[in-house]
């Protein structure tokens, strides 16, 4: 187990772990943007740079993809590392000056603005981190979007910049985008993935009408042999909030005395369902349910 010394403190690391993983595990903050636990490191944004000791000189490397092989000395909060990260942030702010997420991160890094002019409109509000493209192809298997164009025109787009037939409307791209560029806009019967102008049919909660997902997600899950969206929602077309509410109603009706003491907190319901209420007995939000083995 190699030792990684970060800002003069030693930490144990596994071979193959990245500097970022060791730092995060030990509560040392390094800003990240293009890094996501669901995907392999990609090192596109360079906001996570740190210095490593090369035996007499210090090299600036991206911490999110730098693997630990042997003992390593790292500077996260040296003047040079901080300056390098702030320089990257100033460049990124020129791309996404309006992004609240990026501005929050910039504030935390002590960057108040950017001396650079705003980037061309084609790239506005996108730091080209590639997270949306990668999650769509590598995790969802849809490949509905890709990087297109070169230089100043490089951007994320659907094929021919038209509504994508491959999009299943899962919203993974919007979920991973670190600067909030991608939005899900809910229409009456459709969900629109903006700015890609792609629309897919929407499934709404049978109880309250809230959106619960796209019909295509349901079909894709079924075609892959896994549980469908409807099955995941316990056989009901309810949103999670309504499902929880209905479950609470069932439990309240099933547990005599409405469960205030310890004895009432752990009971078995007919059908083998093992019910354990949480710390706040009687509060439906704290109820956890597990099927008895
Ligand atoms: S749209 Fe968001 S996730 Fe996609 S490349 Fe741009 S910044 Fe990254
Ligand atoms: S988070 Fe490391 S390069 Fe983007």
CATH code 3.10.20.740 region(s) in the chain: 3-108
**Ligand 1 pocket residue status of 92, Cβ below 6 Å:** no
Distance (angstroms) between ligand 2 centre and the Cα of 177 equals 13
Q: What is the pLDDT of residue 270?
A: 42
Which ligand is nearest to the Cα of residue 177, counting in written order?
A: 1
Over the stretch 164-193, which tens digit does the pLDDT of each residue have? Answer: 999 999 999 999 999 999 999 989 889 899
Least confident of 32-36, 79-83, 136-140, 239-243: 239-243
What is the distance of C-alpha 196 from the center of its chain? 19
Q: Whose CA is nearest to atom 4 of ligand 1?
A: 132
The 10 Å Cβ neighbour count of residue 278 is 11
**Tell me, what's the pLDDT at 122?**
59
The answer, yes or no, to whether any atom of ligand 1 lies below 6 A from the CB of 193, is no
Range with the poorest average pLDDT among 31-45, 60-74, 276-290? 276-290
- pLDDT of residue 101 exceeding 90, the answer is yes
Q: So what's the pLDDT on residue 105?
A: 98
* Cβ atoms within 10 Å of 100's Cβ, excluding its own: 10
CA-to-CA distance for 212 and 246, rounded, in angstroms? 16
Q: Which ligand is nearest to the CA of 193?
A: 1
Burial string for 15-28 (b: 16+ CB within 10 Å, else e) reads eebbbbbbbbeeeb
Q: What CATH architecture is 3-108?
A: Roll (3.10)
The tokens for 89 are 């942030």
pLDDT above 90 as % of the chain: 55
Give the tens place of pLDDT for each residue, 29-59. Answer: 999 999 999 999 999 999 999 999 999 899 9
Q: Closest ligand 1 atom to the C-alpha of 127?
A: 7
Protein residue whose Cα sits closest to atom 2 of ligand 1: 177
Least distant ligand from the CA of 33: 2
**Is 249 or 261 the better-scoring residue by pLDDT?**
249
**Distances from the Cα of 29 to the Cα of 6, 138, 208, angstroms:** 11, 27, 41
DSSP the chain: --EEEETTEEEE--TT-BHHHHHHHTT-----SS--TTS-----S-TTEEEEE-SSSEEEEETTS-B--S-EEEESSSHHHHHHHHHHHHHHHHH-TT-HHHHHHHHHTT----SSPPPPGGGTT-----HHHHIIIIIIS----EEES-GGG-EEE-GGGS--SS-----HHHHH-TT---EEEE-SSEEEEETTTEEEEEEE-TTT--EEEEHHHHHHHHHTTS--HHHHTTTS---HHHHHHHHHHHHHHHSGGG--SHHHHEEE-TTSEEEEE-SSTT-GGGEEEEE--
Q: Which atom of ligand 2 is nearest to the CA of 35?
A: 1
The band of 231, judged by pLDDT with boundaries at 50, 70 and 90, is low
Q: Give me ligand 2 centre to Cα 126, in Å.
A: 15
Question: Tell me, what's the pLDDT at 213?
Answer: 78
Closest C-alpha to 69, from 77, 61, 81: 61
Of 182, 194, 196, 198, best ligand 1 pocket probe by most atoms within 8 Å of the beta carbon: 182
If you measure from the C-alpha of residue 34 to the centroid of ligand 1, how many angstroms do you get, rounded to a whole number?
A: 9
Q: pTM score, two decimals? A: 0.78
Could you tell me if the CB of 64 is within 6 A of ligand 2? yes
The string of pLDDT tens digits covering residues 202-225 is 888 888 888 877 888 877 777 776
User: Ligand 1 in contact with 157 (CB < 6 A)?
Assistant: no
The chain-wide mean pLDDT, for the chain, equals 83
Q: What per-residue confidence (pLDDT) applies to 293?
A: 27
């Amino acid at each position: 187990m190699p030792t990684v010394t970060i800002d003069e403190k030693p930490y144990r690391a596994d071979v193959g772990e990245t500097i970022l993983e060791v730092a995060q595990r030990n509560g040392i903050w390094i800003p990240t943007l293009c890094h996501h636990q669901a995907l392999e490191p990609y090192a596109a944004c360079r906001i996570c740079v740190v210095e490593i000791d090369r035996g007499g000189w210090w090299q600036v490397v991206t911490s999110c993809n730098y693997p630990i092989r042997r003992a390593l000395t790292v500077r996260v909060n040296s003047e040079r590392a901080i300056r390098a990260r702030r320089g990257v942030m100033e460049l990124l702010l020129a791309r996404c000056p309006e992004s609240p997420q990026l501005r929050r991160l910039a504030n935390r890094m002590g960057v108040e603005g950017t001396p650079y002019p705003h980037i061309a409109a084609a790239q506005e509000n996108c730091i080209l981190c590639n997270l949306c493209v990668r999650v769509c192809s590598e995790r969802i298997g849809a490949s509905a979007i890709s990087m297109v164009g070169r230089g100043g025109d490089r951007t994320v787009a659907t094929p021919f910049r038209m509504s994508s037939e491959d999009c299943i409307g899962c919203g993974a791209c919007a979920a991973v985008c670190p600067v909030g560029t991608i939005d899900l806009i809910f229409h009456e019967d459709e969900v629109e993935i903006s700015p890609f102008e792609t629309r897919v049919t929407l499934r709404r909660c049978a109880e309250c009408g809230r959106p619960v997902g796209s019909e295509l997600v349901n079909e894709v899950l079924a075609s892959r042999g896994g549980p469908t969206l409807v099955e995941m929602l316990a056989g009901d077309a309810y949103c999670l909030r309504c499902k929880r509410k209905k479950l609470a109603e069932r439990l309240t009706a099933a547990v005599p005395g409405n469960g205030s003491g310890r004895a009432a907190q752990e009971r078995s319901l007919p059908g083998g369902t093992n019910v354990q209420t949480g710390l706040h007995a009687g509060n439906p939000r704290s109820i956890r349910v597990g099927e008895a083995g």
